[in-house]
Amino acid sequence: MILDKIKLALRMDDDDLDEEIQDSIDAAKADLKLSGILESKIVETDPLIIRAIKTFCKCEFSTDDKEAERYRDSYEMIRAHLSLSNEHTTEETL
Q: Return the pLDDT at 94.
A: 61
Report the C-alpha gap between 42 and 7 in whole angstroms.
Answer: 19
Give me the DSSP letters along the chain.
-HHHHHHHHTT--SSTTHHHHHHHHHHHHHHHHHTT--GGG--TT-HHHHHHHHHHHHHHH-SSHHHHHHHHHHHHHHHHHHHH-HHHHS----
58: exposed, middle or buried (Cβ count in 10 Å: 0-12, 13-18, 19+): buried
48-94: per-residue pLDDT in tens?
999 999 999 999 999 999 999 999 999 999 999 999 999 999 987 66
Report the C-alpha gap between 29 and 9 in whole angstroms.
Answer: 17
Q: Return the pLDDT at 24.
A: 97
| pTM for the whole structure | 0.92
